[in-house]
Amino acid sequence: MSTSLFSTLRRSSECRARRGELSTAHGMVQTPVFMPVGTQATVKAVTVENLRELGAQIILGNTYHLFIRPGHEMIERFGGLHGFMNWNRPILTDSGGFQIFSLKELATITEAGATFRSHLDGSKKFISPEDAVAVQEALGSDIMMCLDTCIPYPADRKRTEDATALTGRWARRCREAHRNKEQMLFGITQGGMFADLRQQSAETLIEIGFDGYAIGGLSVGESKDQMYDMTEATVAHLPEEQPLYLMGVGTPEDLVEGVRRGVDMFDCVMPTRNARNGMLFTSNGKVVIKNSRYREDPAPIDERCRCYTCSNYSRAYLRHLFVSREILAYHLNTIHNLHFYMKLMQEIREAIEMDCFESFRNDFYGRLESE
């Protein structure tokens, strides 16, 4: 295992929130950080130039989808994901475990790995923990994730125990297969909704030794309280000197609550997917742009926002684009939502630096209004 490339710069005196830096082969990442999801080597509806202008520090690529199409060998010939998509900042690739889990009827999990059928053409595929690492090494990501077995919700204790133990055995195999030490490798904790299994999972991964640790298997249908409780229960057993990543989460509120519990890194499709569905985040809550109330509204999406979309276009125009199914709607909406997320994380980092995170959190909730 490489020496830790993560350093904590400031800790909140009120909660577990912390401000840090993570050094990668493609630059420094300021944490807490939100990573836009670029599933198929693109963050949908925006260019890499847009992402840089928005202040995205690091993006996420999906091992499963890129393994299926266009193939990791081809991407490697283009200089890895960075060269293929013309992105010169850090990239994290997830292992594909969650996508295989979501295939359900199309996948079979055994000790050896996961056998599944392509969602594109039904062809039979197999990926082992060793394969997952090899594919990600070919993709050239700065941070790779171990292959894990995601646990559905609800799941009984026996099923959760078995899947959590398998995740631990797969993690050891991933660590042993890890060759390129310039690429960090993170382990993924599981354990379902059982705090003691979460602790066991964390202890297993720490014993193996990774460059960072992720909290997996949340935001799969459980309540918000359960998600926050399991996040807290897991963070309590993970090393403070390394980055902690809450996978697939979430709403702006989830980011604030995750940081409060000690999380450093987040990713979620929500800002981009919701943008394409016409749901926009604002400092006062959500705006559903197709609503008739915005038909002649001259105001920007958010009066407090300084993004390109809010600086140039009205709610009336954005509603017109969306109901007309114009492609520009997806582009402008995505720019706004990603700007909102980037700005939120910047404000969170500043609040931690000034040691006023709880005051920031109270103000954040105070501004929210249901649309």
Which tens digit of pLDDT belongs to each residue from 14-66? 999 999 999 999 999 999 999 999 999 999 999 999 999 999 999 999 999 99
Assigned token pair, 134 = 């090899």
Domain stop point among 248, 267, 286: 267
Considering the domain architecture, whether residues 186 and 283 belong to the same structural domain is answered as no
**Residue 344 within any structural domain of the chain:** yes
Considering the domain architecture, whether residues 248 and 311 belong to the same structural domain is answered as no
Considering the domain architecture, whether residues 112 and 221 belong to the same structural domain is answered as yes
Residue 23's beta-bridge partner residues? Answer: 28
Considering the domain architecture, whether residues 107 and 200 belong to the same structural domain is answered as yes
Considering the domain architecture, whether residues 347 and 212 belong to the same structural domain is answered as no
- pLDDT reported for residue 107: 86
Task: Look at residue 166 and tell me whether its pLDDT is greater than 80.
Answer: yes
Considering the domain architecture, whether residues 87 and 167 belong to the same structural domain is answered as yes
* 94 is an active site residue: yes
**Residue 59 within any structural domain of the chain:** yes
* 211 is an active site residue: no
Q: Is 122 exposed, middle or buried (0-12, 13-18, 19+ CB in 10 A)?
A: exposed
SS3 263: coil
Considering the domain architecture, whether residues 193 and 292 belong to the same structural domain is answered as no
Considering the domain architecture, whether residues 80 and 182 belong to the same structural domain is answered as yes
**Residue 64 within any structural domain of the chain:** yes
Which tens digit of pLDDT belongs to each residue from 289-307? 999 999 999 999 999 999 9
pLDDT band at 102 (very low <50, low <70, confident <90, very high): confident
Considering the domain architecture, whether residues 34 and 16 belong to the same structural domain is answered as yes
Q: Which of 195, 231, 235, 188 lies closest to 212, judged by CA? A: 188
Considering the domain architecture, whether residues 297 and 171 belong to the same structural domain is answered as no
How many of the other CB atoms lie within 10 Å of CB of 180? Answer: 14
SS3 113: coil
Q: Which of 142, 254, 267, 302 is catalytic?
A: 267
Domain range enclosing 23: 6-267
**What element of type H or E holds 28?**
strand 27-31
pLDDT band at 366 (very low <50, low <70, confident <90, very high): very high
pLDDT band at 240 (very low <50, low <70, confident <90, very high): very high
Task: Look at residue 369 and tell me whether its pLDDT is greater than 90.
Answer: no
**Residue 140 within any structural domain of the chain:** yes
Q: Which of 94, 131, 142, 302 is catalytic?
A: 94
Considering the domain architecture, whether residues 260 and 282 belong to the same structural domain is answered as no
Domain count, the chain: 2
Separation CA 87–CA 95 (nearest Å): 20
**Residue 1 within any structural domain of the chain:** no
**Residue 282 within any structural domain of the chain:** yes
- pLDDT reported for residue 94: 95
Considering the domain architecture, whether residues 160 and 301 belong to the same structural domain is answered as no
Task: Look at residue 148 and tell me whether its pLDDT is greater than 60.
Answer: yes
Domain stop point among 222, 250, 267: 267
Q: What is the CATH number of the domain that holds 177?
A: 3.20.20.105
Domain stop point among 222, 239, 267: 267
Q: Is 223 exposed, middle or buried (0-12, 13-18, 19+ CB in 10 A)?
A: exposed
Which tens digit of pLDDT belongs to each residue from 243-300? 999 999 999 999 999 999 999 999 999 999 999 999 999 999 999 999 999 999 999 9
Confirm whether pTM is higher than 0.85.
Answer: yes
**Residue 31 within any structural domain of the chain:** yes
